[in-house]
Amino acid sequence: MTTPIGEGTTTVAPELPHRVLVLNSGSSSVKYQLLDMRDRSRLAVGLVERIGEETSRLTHTLLEGGGAEPRERTGRIADHEEALKAAAEELAADGLGLDSPELAAIGHRVVHGGLRFTEPTVITDEVLAEIERLVPVAPLHNPANITGIRTAQALRPDLPQVAVFDTAFHTTMPESAARYAIDIETADAHRIRRYGFHGTSHAYVSRRTAELLGRPREELSLVVLHLGNGASASAVAGGRCVDTSMGLTPLEGLVMGTRSGDIDPAVTFHLMRVAGMSADEIDVLLNKKSGLVGLCGDNDMREIRRRVDEGDERAALAFDIYIHRLKKYIGAYSAVLGRVDAVVFTAGVGENSAPVREAAIAGLEELGLAVDADLNAVRSGEPRLISPNYARVAVAVVPTDEELEIAGQTFALVGQVDN
Ligand code: AMP
C-alpha cells in the first residue's frame, strides 16, 4: 500500500531500494539529505558552501542510529562535481555510499519549471534541455540546478533522477492571477507571467494543515505564509494554488530579508534615468540590498526584534513595513478565496517569530482572525493552532520540510512500492 508523505508509514518490501538522496544545488552551495522512505527518517544531512572559493566548507552530519557529531572539511572545493564527490565520500564513510543498492533515486530541487512541468518529472535528456531553455527566466537558479543534475548523473548514470519544481504547485493558478496586465504579445514572446516559487513548501504545508485540522484538503481554503529569508504567500483552495505572491521571479510580493517585494515598476526606469544605474545594478539593489536589510541593515528577524525592543527606530520602521505588506496579502487572499478556513505560518520567521505572527493578525477580527497570546508563545517543532477556540478562522503554525516533500514526491514516482 502506498501512503502519501506525511500521512502514516509507507510500506516498502525490505529488499527493495528505499533510500532517496535529495540535492538542492545553489550557485555556490549544495545541500543534501539522505532519507529512508520506509519511515521517512533522515540518515544523513550535509552542506557544501562557498564552492569555487579558497574557503569552501563541507559540513556532514550522520543522523542514523542516534547520530554523530558533525564532521567538517575545509579548503578549496573547485566546482559542483568536486562538491558532490566530497559529499559522496562522506556518505560512503558512514556506510551510506551512493553505490548502495538501497538507493532508489536522487531528487533534485529545480527552481523554475515554467508552464511545462506541473508534476515531479524523471529527468531525461529532453527534460534537461527544457530546464535549460528556462534559464533566461531563472538566470540565478536553473544553471546551478542543471550542474547538480549533470554531476549526479555522472556519479550514478543508472539511477533515476527526478526534478521537483518550485513552480509546479502554482501551475494551477487561473490566467486572471497568473497574467500581468501588459501587452499580451510581448508577454507571450518572452514568457512573461507569474510563475510563483516555494511551491514545494506551499504544497507540503497545505497538506499538513489539512491533517492538523482533521479535514479533507478538498474542502479547505487556506492562506499560507512562507516567511523565511525569502517570503511568499499563497491562496490555496481545495488543495490547489489559486494565487501566489511571487511572480516571474522570486522578487515580487512580500517584504523579504534582502528583496523589496512589490514596488512600482517605474522605480526601475526612474533609477536608470535619474541615478544612472544599470539594469544589473538595479537587479542587485532590489534582490540583495533591499527588504529588511535595505531598510535597517539587518535581515535576521531575531536581531530586528531585539533592536525594536531597545527602541531602535529604523528597526521598528522595517518591522512595520514588513507587517503592513503581510496584512495586505492576508486581506487580498481572503478576498480572492471568498472564505478562509485557516491562515498558516511557516518557514524560519513564520515558525519562530511570535511577534511577527501576533502583529500580522492584530486588528483582523473582522476577518474572523485572532491569535491566543499563550498559544502563540509556545515554541515547538510540531504543527499547532495558535487561534483561540472562539475564532471563526484557524491560525496555525505548520513547520515546512521541503526536503521531505522532494524525497516523497521522488519516491512516489520511482519507488518500487510493495502493493
Ligand atoms: P529560512 O529562509 O526559512 O531558513 O528562514 C531564515 C530566517 O528565519 C532568518 O533570516 C531569520 O530572520 C528567521 N529566524 C530563524 N530563527 C528565528 C527565531 N528564532 N526567531 C525569529 N526569526 C527567526
What was the pLDDT predicted at 4? 43
Residue-wise burial string across 93-105, b where 16 or more C-beta atoms lie within 10 A, e elsewhere: ebebebeeeebbb
Do 149 and 234 fall within a single domain?
A: no
What was the pLDDT predicted at 12? 61
How many domains does the structure of the chain reveal? 2
User: Is there a domain that residue 415 lies in?
Assistant: no
Q: Identify the domain containing residue 352 by its residue range.
A: 215-402
What is the C-alpha to C-alpha distance for residues 367 and 363, in angstroms, rounded to an integer?
A: 9
Do 245 and 374 fall within a single domain?
A: yes
User: Does residue 257's CB lie within 6 angstroms of at least one atom of ligand 1?
Assistant: yes
Protein residue with least CA distance to atom 4, ligand 1: 348
- The predicted-structure confidence for 186-200, as pLDDT tens digits, reads as follows 999 999 999 999 999
What is the C-alpha to C-alpha distance for residues 346 and 279, in angstroms, rounded to an integer?
A: 33
Ligand 1 atom at shortest distance from the alpha carbon of 301: 12
Do 151 and 225 fall within a single domain?
A: no
What was the pLDDT predicted at 139? 80
User: Is there a domain that residue 106 lies in?
Assistant: yes
Do 268 and 386 fall within a single domain?
A: yes
User: Is there a domain that residue 307 lies in?
Assistant: yes
What was the pLDDT predicted at 111? 93
Do 132 and 221 fall within a single domain?
A: no
- Residue 385's beta-bridge partner residues? 396
What was the pLDDT predicted at 136? 84
Residues of the chain with pLDDT under 50: 1-8, 417-419
User: Is there a domain that residue 199 lies in?
Assistant: no
Whether 132 contacts 146, CB under 8 Å: yes
User: What is the whole-number distance in angstroms between the Cα of residue 326 and the centre of ligand 1?
Assistant: 16
User: Does residue 172's CB lie within 6 angstroms of at least one atom of ligand 1?
Assistant: no
Ligand 1 atom at shortest distance from the alpha carbon of 305: 21
Catalytic residue flag (residue 166): yes
What was the pLDDT predicted at 14? 60
Residue 251: give its domain's CATH number: 3.30.420.40
What is the C-alpha to C-alpha distance for residues 207 and 226, in angstroms, rounded to an integer?
A: 14
Q: Which one is catalytic: 94, 166, 243, 401?
A: 166
Do 255 and 394 fall within a single domain?
A: yes
Protein residue with least CA distance to atom 11, ligand 1: 300
Do 284 and 381 fall within a single domain?
A: yes
Closest CA to 359 of 327, 312, 316, 400: 327
User: Is there a domain that residue 193 lies in?
Assistant: no
Examine the fold and report which residue of 131, 165, 199 is the final residue of a domain before the chain moves on.
Answer: 165
Instruction: Take residue 295 and report the three cell numbers written for it.
Output: 531598510
What was the pLDDT predicted at 6? 45
User: Does residue 349's CB lie within 6 angstroms of at least one atom of ligand 1?
Assistant: yes
What was the pLDDT predicted at 16? 83
